[in-house]
Structure formats: structure tokens, C-alpha cells
Amino acid sequence: MKLSKQHSNYQSEITQFISSLKEKNPNLEESQRAGRALLWDKSPIDLDQQARIKASNVSQQAYVYQNKLK
């Protein structure tokens, strides 16, 4: 199905809003990437440290308030 020429140039209101926002603030995408790097993109995981942390965990009994059975 081929769209008519009128429909091929259609942009939704949201697309128009985002385009105008990018025109007003050309550094928008760069600042979004910087924010993402600050909050989410962390350094690679150290597998040795992760294994030490997992090995150092103390297992907990099923019901913590019950006295330990001998």
C-alpha cells in the first residue's frame, strides 16, 4: 500500500513538538546523554569483587525471629 503525497508528509503533534524543542535547544541531546552517563552508564563490573561480595553474604534462616534449632 502506497501512501498518498499528502500522508507521506504527515507529522504528529508530538513529532512537531520534539522537532521544535530541538530547534530551540540544539544542545538538548548532548545534555540528555550527559545525564544518562551520570546516572546509568557505570564502569564495567569487576567480577572478582562481585564473587567476593557474594561469598561473604551470610545466609539467613527462613523465619528470622525463630530461635535456632539445635
List pLDDT tens digits, range 38-62: 887 777 888 999 899 999 988 877 8
CA angle 37, 30, 9 (to 5 degrees): 125
Query: CB-side exposure of 31: number of CA atoms within 13 Å?
Result: 5
List pLDDT tens digits, range 6-30: 677 899 999 999 999 999 999 999 9
Q: How far apart are CA 20 and CA 26, in angstroms?
A: 10
Q: What is the pLDDT at residue 5?
A: 62
Q: How far apart are CA 48 and CA 69, in angstroms?
A: 35
Q: What is the pLDDT at residue 70?
A: 59
